[in-house]
Amino acid sequence: MVNMAGKKQIMLILIFALLTVPAQAAGEAAFRIDIDSLNLRKGHSANINISLENAQGARVSNIEGIEGFDILSQSQGTSTSFVNGEVTHRVDFHYTVMPKTAGQYTLKANIQYNGEQHQTNALQVSISEASDSENESVENLFIKTVMSHEDSYLGEKIVITYELYSRYSIENFGFRDPIAIDGVLTKEIPGNQPRAEYVYIEGNRYAKYQARQLIIDPVKQGVYTIPSANIQVNVVSGGGNSFFRSSTPMYLQTEEKQLTVNPLPTDGKPNDFSGIVGQLQLEGRYSRQEMKYGDSFTLYITASGNCNLDGMKNIINGELSGLSVYETQKNVTESVENNQYRIEKSFEAILVPEATGALEVQPISVPYFNPLTGKYERAEIPGVTINVLGDMPQPSNFNGNQTGAVETVTVNQVNYSKTDDDYFTIQVKKEWLYVGLGCFVALIALAVALVKIASNRSKQDLIMKSLNKQLTASKDINEIYNIFNTIIKHCYNVSIKASSRNTIQHSLRDANLAEQVMDIMDYMESAKTYDEKGYIYLKNKIKKTFASCEWRVARKDSA
């Protein structure tokens, strides 16, 4: 056996022999392009490699035929090999690409080297459309775009879910860019990447992930394009918890979809329709049905369904006969169930009876448009009878309790003649007395009117102050637009989200205000992205309309 010292001597001799062998000159320059497969399908990435051998200083000028692909990533590597005394220098350019247009493409790279133009070999690549069959899945990794519905009415909220299917072990995944959809308000459902749900497709077991989920709200009718998006999936390579465990990025592209948004019908549209589209359920519960006069009771209300309740700020519009109403909104919960949008809003209304006896509380109904039936319907809270116990307080009699005939007194003049040491007698003309009484009655009526106007204006001011406070505090462009809709609806009794432009302009009447409102609507419909500058711009535009709305409220109060 050779001892350790002997082994070292042998190694030194081999190294010396390699170093003393004369190296042959590098071979001729060579340029080559390769791809994973010549038959590709849209939605699945591929790898292109361009190798430059023995061409130090060479660079890739351009790649012919690359217009059929999106370049997702690129990298560069350099290597030097020594075989049979010959040194080979090699530079590799790696491109991860995503096919974007079906067709036939010839891939060929143009290389600039030593002041001359060179070309690689040519590759004939075929790109086919993605499969339309939901059951066809010959790939080990693919993604599906699932919409709650592709044909909707203006005012409906649509859910878009991106489902990732894999037969590989996945480390993580994520979309490379935000998904921007022109003309819609977009809200992403937050959450961490969930655990896989295992499903079988054509007998093969797949891990199914919810890659992303969006709630979109179109702001106008028409046909919308849900664009395709690229997602990176890091697939685990190596086994178990091995030291050599690593991940390899793979890329997929989602399917482009079309969404048709239809206008709401005008036939049968209720006058008090507030823009609720979808199926609405109302539940109401009264805290008690018997009480003493002077006490209050509470109506607990829950509005729920797959409908858009952005414009619903209260349930009780107007007055309830025989009751004073103080209503507040409590909680709002949005969710997605079975890929369908769902919302739940709760309200509390404190009701104060204004008289004793059996009080009939009328049913409370809210109109909505049902997309399933294509008709306007109403959700209703049934009426109830409330027993108010006790006696009504008796109003004080300004003239006392004395009743009887009114004595007519004729006064011809004012005379301060002293007829008794303790009394004065005053005589006034009848005409003067009537004028004085008329002025006194007019002053009382004016005072009552001023008190009523001040009370109503105080209530209106509170509402406008609350909306202004919400508008100032909000930094979400969807919420800002909803507050703006509430302001216009409160001041002019018209919803900009549920009414046509002609209806809005007719309701506003003021040409300058109508122009401001149309500018805001145009911005919401045309803006592609809603960043920080966008919500500041929108908020400033809305602030300009606030003074006009406050003037409108004051005018309604005085009327």
Residues 107-150 have pLDDT tens digits of 999 999 888 899 999 999 988 886 654 444 447 889 999 999 89
pLDDT of residue 26: 54
The confidence band for 214, taking pLDDT boundaries of 50, 70 and 90, is very high
CA distance 125 to 122: 10
- What does DSSP assign to residue 67? G
CB 61 within 8 A of CB 110: yes
pLDDT of residue 423: 56
CA distance 376 to 381: 17
Residue 194 tokens, joined: 């969930």
* Per-residue CA distances from 416 to 210, 420, 426, 430, 437 (Å): 99, 11, 6, 17, 22
pLDDT of residue 241: 53
Q: Nearest to residue 253, comparing CAs of 97, 59, 24? A: 97
The confidence band for 553, taking pLDDT boundaries of 50, 70 and 90, is low
CB 140 within 8 A of CB 168: yes
The confidence band for 376, taking pLDDT boundaries of 50, 70 and 90, is very high
The confidence band for 270, taking pLDDT boundaries of 50, 70 and 90, is very high
Q: What is the mean pLDDT of residues 210-215?
A: 91
pLDDT of residue 436: 73
pLDDT of residue 544: 75
Tens-digit pLDDT profile for residues 79-100: 887 766 677 888 989 888 888 8
CB 144 within 8 A of CB 257: no
Q: What is the mean pLDDT of residues 400-408?
A: 45
* Per-residue CA distances from 175 to 22, 98, 179, 457 (Å): 53, 14, 9, 52
The angle formed by the CA atoms of residues 123, 119 and 93, to the nearest 5 degrees, is: 75
CA distance 166 to 206: 5
Range scoring the smallest mean pLDDT among 186-190, 257-261, 333-337: 186-190
Residue 541 CB neighbour total at 10 angstroms: 16
- Please provide the DSSP assignment of 114-177 as one string: TTEEEE---EEEEEEPPP--SS---SSEEEEEEES-SEEETT--EEEEEEEEESS-EEEEEESS
Question: Is domain 24-128 in CATH 2.60.40.740, yes or no?
Answer: yes
CB 277 within 8 A of CB 307: yes
Q: What is the mean pLDDT of residues 324-347?
A: 88
Give percent of the chain above pLDDT 70. Answer: 76
Asked whether the predicted pLDDT for residue 401 surpasses 60, the reply is no
Give the β-pairing of 357-361 and 116-119.
unpaired
Instruction: Tell me whether domains 141-262 and 280-389 share a fold.
Output: yes
Look at 42 and 65; give whichever has higher pLDDT.
65
Please tell me whether residue 535 adopts helix, strand or coil conformation: helix
pLDDT of residue 407: 45
The angle formed by the CA atoms of residues 92, 95 and 99, to the nearest 5 degrees, is: 150
Range scoring the smallest mean pLDDT among 3-17, 261-275, 403-417: 403-417
pLDDT of residue 6: 56
Look at 408 and 295; give whichever has higher pLDDT.
295
Q: What is the mean pLDDT of residues 157-166?
A: 93
CA distance 343 to 310: 10
Range scoring the smallest mean pLDDT among 101-105, 110-114, 316-320: 316-320
CA distance 503 to 524: 18
CA distance 427 to 416: 8
Give percent of the chain above pLDDT 90. Answer: 23
Strand order across the 323-337 sheet: 280-286, 297-305, 340-353, 323-337
CA distance 153 to 263: 6
CB 353 within 8 A of CB 360: no
Range scoring the smallest mean pLDDT among 176-185, 449-458, 502-511: 449-458
CA atoms within 13 A on the CB side of 379: 22
Q: Return all residues near 138 (Cβ < 8 A) that are at least 6 apart.
A: none
Asked whether the predicted pLDDT for residue 323 surpasses 90, the reply is no
The confidence band for 350, taking pLDDT boundaries of 50, 70 and 90, is confident
14 φ, ψ (degrees, to nearest 5): -65, -45
pLDDT of residue 23: 42
Tens-digit pLDDT profile for residues 411-458: 444 444 454 555 555 665 667 767 777 787 778 877 777 666 555 554
The confidence band for 395, taking pLDDT boundaries of 50, 70 and 90, is low
**CATH code assigned to 280-389:** 2.60.40
Asked whether the predicted pLDDT for residue 408 surpasses 50, the reply is no
Please tell me whether residue 181 adopts helix, strand or coil conformation: coil
CA distance 334 to 340: 11
Looking at every residue in the chain, the average pLDDT score rounds to: 79
Q: What is the mean pLDDT of residues 335-339?
A: 89
Asked whether the predicted pLDDT for residue 373 surpasses 50, the reply is yes
Range scoring the smallest mean pLDDT among 73-87, 349-363, 529-543: 529-543
* Per-residue CA distances from 205 to 197, 358, 491 (Å): 10, 67, 58
Domain residue spans in the chain?
24-128, 141-262, 280-389, 430-558
Look at 58 and 502; give whichever has higher pLDDT.
58
Please tell me whether residue 265 adopts helix, strand or coil conformation: coil
Asked whether the predicted pLDDT for residue 18 surpasses 50, the reply is no
3-state SS, one letter per residue, for 185-228: EEEECCCCCCCCEEEEECCEEEEEEEEEEEEEEECCCEEEEECC
Q: Nearest to residue 484, comparing CAs of 420, 536, 434, 549? A: 549
pLDDT of residue 346: 92
pLDDT of residue 263: 94
pLDDT of residue 409: 43
CA distance 113 to 146: 50
Range scoring the smallest mean pLDDT among 89-93, 313-317, 369-373: 313-317
Question: Is domain 141-262 in CATH 2.60.40, yes or no?
Answer: yes
